[in-house]
Structure 1
Amino acid sequence: MENLLLEWLSTDDLLLCGIGILAAIIGVMFGAAGFVLLPALLLVGIPIHATVAINKFATGISSFSTILVLVLKRKVKLKEMLPLMLFAGLGGIFGAFFTTRLLEQTMNIIACIVLIAMFFVVLKSKKTGLVNEQSDTEQLVSMQEGNKKLTTLFVPFFIGTYDGGFGPGSALLNITYFLKRQFSYVKAAEMTRFVTFSSCISAFIFYFFYGIVNWGIAIPITVGSIIGSHIGLKIVPYIKGRWVQILLPAIFLLLIIQVVSDMLF
């Protein structure tokens, strides 16, 4: 038992746990956990597909831990999120299936195209006002009306497909989607945890049965992600709308640079 504890408290595991904490905080606040997690794992020599699988497990479990808090505090109604979660989950499975049949270079090209497209969407939205300052009660009515349209569910499916297959910036895509539907930034970040959980866990299950999960790395990363996600939720309410208008395009640009550098080097 003592040897097991020492193994868990090794320098490598503490480093991985720290990476998980930092990635989760950034993920909850700005939807860019992959900006920290994926490059960090690639730098220590983890293959791209195993890295994606670890990321899905860590992000999925940390999202679930925050979902429990949000549901218990009645900040988000689970019933209203279930259709979005279902489509995001289906997208996650499809994305994981698709990715296991692609080369790393192809995955990077797809990620780059998606991020560049969303970068321009955010820039355009910046002029019209992406961040809504309405109350959550007013926004819930808007969401209930939007759920009547099937197109409302297609977006989480496509984002879930991207998330399950690769993932850098997928939470940011979800946050942007909810902001476009006139939710406040805090509510958008909270709702993103639900669809992120669904797409990540469904994708992870596929990767698990595919046999590319490294538990020695996945567990310390996940522990850190759980801690970081709760820290991030505490910080989110203090983020001002004008900060988001500046930071979202900047984070998208950094993600694009990261993916392009992966392709070139």
Structure 2
Amino acid sequence: MENLLLEWLSLHGLLLFGIGVLAAIIGVMFGAAGFVLLPALLLVGIPIHVTVAVNKFATGISSFSTVLVLTLKKKVGLKQMLPLMLVAGLGGISGAFFATRLSEQVMNIVACIVLISMFIVVLKNNKSGLVKEVDDTEGTDKRTNWWAPFFIGIYDGGFGPGSALLNITYFLKKQFSYLKAAELTRFMMFASCISAFFFYLFYGIVNWGFAIPVALGSIVGSHIGLKIIPYLKGKWIEFLLPVIFFLLIVQVVVDMVF
């Protein structure tokens, strides 16, 4: 325990904390925490499967902190979200199971296909006004597509770059405002990430020396991100969403090639 504490308080631990803060801010605002977190952790020498496990723990814990705040402030009804969270959680466990049996190359191919598909969806729907002005309006499309949260959960549990963005897009398609979509996404990410994390923990590939400082940074960053979202303009988001999807696709393609 003493060795772990020294590792958390070291320069390396502070670097991981900073990575967690930055990744969570971008993750909450634009659903692209993996755009920062995964390459940053790989850059400091953390193996891919350990990186994914750290990502799941950090995102799950930070999501839980925002879920707690949103529930206590009665901004989101927990009872309303529980069925979707259950589906996302089942998807997260399934994704973690597949990730431990598939190579990094295969996971990158899957990620690329998913991100390109959603990139096309965002471009198509931006023309018809996918993003509402940032306020707290509820969705008008009450139909529940269980398969979408389940497959997003699988993707998130197994790899995950852009999974929050996929959830945000799902809620935008259901006519929620961007702010509300981002808030609901925290519930989905908590369910899929925590369920996947427990599978990785059982599998024995969690490194607490990496996971704790990143998670603490993610908690701080997630609350900062939620404070910033109300100041974002709808036009900015319409421009940035396809740009972020494109950058994530480039990142995954680079990983496949190199």
The C-alpha deviation readout for 1:49-102, integer Å capped at 9, x for no partner, is 111111000000000000010001111111110111000000000000011100
> CA-atom RMSD, angstroms?
1.6
- Equivalent pair of 2:31/2:163 in contact (CA under 8 Å): yes
- Equivalent pair of 1:26/1:33 in contact (CA under 8 Å): yes
How far did 1:133 drift?
A: 3.7
Partner of 2:107: 107
- Does residue 21 of the first structure (1) align with residue 21 of the second (2)? yes
- Does residue 216 of the first structure (1) align with residue 196 of the second (2)? no
Distance 2:64 2:3 in 1: 30
Distance 1:236 1:64 in 2: 18
How far did 1:9 drift?
A: 2.0
Partner of 2:143: 146
How far did 1:27 drift?
A: 0.2
Length, aligned pairs only:
258
Q: TM-score, normalization: structure 2?
A: 0.96
Partner of 2:157: 164
Farther-moved stretch of structure 1 (23-32 vs 37-46) = 37-46
- Does residue 192 of the first structure (1) align with residue 165 of the second (2)? no
Distance 1:50 1:2 in 2: 22
Partner of 2:62: 62
- Equivalent pair of 2:130/2:172 in contact (CA under 8 Å): yes
Partner of 1:264: 257
- Could you tell me which runs of 5 or more consecutive residues in structure 1 were left unpaired when the two chains were aligned: none
Q: 1:208 to 1:187 in 2, by over 3 A?
A: same
Alignment partner of 1:249 out of 204, 227, 242: 242
How far did 1:8 drift?
A: 2.8
Distance 1:99 1:115 in 2: 17
- Equivalent pair of 2:92/2:191 in contact (CA under 8 Å): yes
Identity of aligned residues (%): 76
Q: TM-score, normalization: structure 1?
A: 0.94
How far did 1:246 drift?
A: 0.1
Partner of 1:234: 227
User: Is the partner of 2:127 in helix, strand or coil?
Assistant: helix
How far did 1:46 drift?
A: 1.3
- Does residue 43 of the first structure (1) align with residue 40 of the second (2)? no
Distance 1:122 1:55 in 2: 25
Extract structure 1 runs of 4+ deviating beyond 6 A: 1-4
- Equivalent pair of 2:93/2:199 in contact (CA under 8 Å): yes
Partner of 2:129: 129
- Could you tell me which runs of 5 or more consecutive residues in structure 2 were left unpaired when the two chains were aligned: none
Distance 2:216 2:189 in 1: 17
Which residue identity lines up with residue 40 of structure 1 in the other structure?
A
Q: 1:248 to 1:89 in 2, by over 3 A?
A: same
Distance 1:210 1:6 in 2: 26
Distance 2:117 2:147 in 1: 17
- Equivalent pair of 2:135/2:230 in contact (CA under 8 Å): no
Distance 1:2 1:101 in 2: 34
How far did 1:44 drift?
A: 1.6
Q: How does 1:175-190 map to 2 (within 5 A)?
A: 175-190=168-183
Partner of 1:87: 87
- Equivalent pair of 2:88/2:192 in contact (CA under 8 Å): yes
The C-alpha deviation readout for 1:135-194, integer Å capped at 9, x for no partner, is 645x25x35x324xxxx2211001000000000000000000100100000000000000
Partner of 1:206: 199
